[in-house]
Amino acid sequence: MAYYLSPRFLDKLAVHITKNYLKLPQVKIPLILGVHGRKGEGKTFQCELVYERMGIEVVHISGGELESPDAGDPARLIRLRYREAAELVRVRGKMAVLMINDIDAGAGRFDALTQYTVNTQLVNNTLMNIADNPTNVQLPGSYDENKIQRVPIILTGNDLSTLYAPLIRDGRMEKFYWEPDRSDRIGIVGGIFAPDGLSQSDIDALVDTFPNQAIDFFGAVRAQIYNEQIRDFIYSVGLENVSRSVVNTTTPPSFRKPDFRLAHLIEVGDRLVGEQRRVNDMRLANEYNRVLSQGGPSPSSDAGPFYRAYPTENGHRPDDGNRLNDDQNLKSESQTPPTPPSSPPPPTHPSTHPPSHPSTLPPELHQQINTILSQGYRLGIEHVDRRRFQTNAWQSGPALPSQNAAAATAALERCLGDYAQDYVRLIGIDPNTKQRVMEQIIQRPGR
């Protein structure tokens, strides 16, 4: 299959690699080339095409290898692979490169939540040391006086700004932002669909239909086209016979050429775009990470000023049993007919614990209750004793009336009296999604 190699990409890598093998007078040549750009744009694959075109030997390191339970192992691995690439140049008489894929995933720091380990520091320091002394790369515990061959290093990543700043300075690393233009995209997509006989006009129309999608999107579209035939094959042989039909068989199944018409490709592409939108609409990880980064609950993006996002103040999620109890409380409350405003409140049962707080709630809590109820949310409470508070083992309390703020306030005061020796937190729940929109501890024993 004739894959498309971008002339811009070829030019950048060819110049950088060749320059590192030349002895230019009094010229400081960066050893490292950082290829960065959007996810799925084919950075690694374009690099492989360049290596194949130029006949270059490649020694690979994955970003996942840059962490280890043993301190120093990733840094030792980088030195070992670098010396291995230098030995290939000496033995085979061909140019070689050390390529580290997804460097930002292995050695980058994206936010305050990213753990910055000793290995992360050693990896950054080792790469800087090699960039400064490319012919004197020693292994721990040994020393070789003989200089080794200088070998260029190619890094790929999505965001090089997550790396240690002194590593990516211009003297050590040359940067190349890879963003394929329309002609590059048409050439690459044409190579993907080359065996399928798509016309040039169909390739142009397919690229223009999805102008904001990454290159790997079109490869996924082509793979999805075969799903229909594979589904027919599964049900033709039977689900229980699929394994023996595809594993260690002398007659593997064959498939006819699928429907590669432009309209069908666009239909499959639209389905993939729809799945992407669903992922982006959920954004659950963003909410979770934002809460952790703030060390406690944060304001929800779609709630009022008093709402605090899930999880709790100490950063833990309540257990699923508590959430199930919340749903049951809401369900039972929704089945109970509303109490007329003129009816007197239900009689107060005597508390087993004497109240340890004033009979009236603080004004800011009154305002918070009004705000929650005015937006259609429900209120409930959870409580926990001192010992279980350390393990975050909250127990669900009764749901509070949602007819008006006065009834909810009165019920909340009674609950605080009933659980005077416990931690008590107020929760707000969306009755439609059954999700929490607020959690706040409103009582601590001894205060």
DSSP 8-33: HHHHHHHHHHHHHTS--TT----SEE
Q: pLDDT per residue over 275-332, tens digit each?
A: 888 887 776 666 666 655 555 444 444 433 333 333 434 444 444 444 444 444 444 4
pTM: 0.61
Residue 82: helix, strand or coil by DSSP? helix
Q: pLDDT per residue over 384-420, tens digit each?
A: 888 777 767 778 888 888 778 888 888 888 888 888 8
Contact 29, 19 (CB under 8 A): yes
Q: Which structural domains are found in the chain, ordered by start?
A: 7-177 (3.40.50.300), 182-282 (1.10.8.1070), 296-338+349-443 (3.30.190.10)
Residue 341: helix, strand or coil by DSSP? coil
Cα–Cα distance, 83 to 147 (Å, whole number):
11
Counting Cα atoms < 13 Å in the Cβ hemisphere of 355 gives 13
Cα–Cα distance, 323 to 396 (Å, whole number):
8
Cα–Cα distance, 301 to 306 (Å, whole number):
11
Cα–Cα distance, 125 to 39 (Å, whole number):
26
DSSP state of 140: T
DSSP 245-287: HHSS-SS----------HHHHHHHHHHHHHHHHHHHHH-HHHH
Which position has the higher pLDDT, 357 or 377? 377
Tokens 């997550």 locate to 162
Q: pLDDT per residue over 114-146, tens digit each?
A: 566 888 889 999 999 999 999 999 988 888 888
DSSP 24-73: -TT----SEEEEE-STTS-HHHHHHHHHHHHT-EEEEEEGGGG--SSTTH
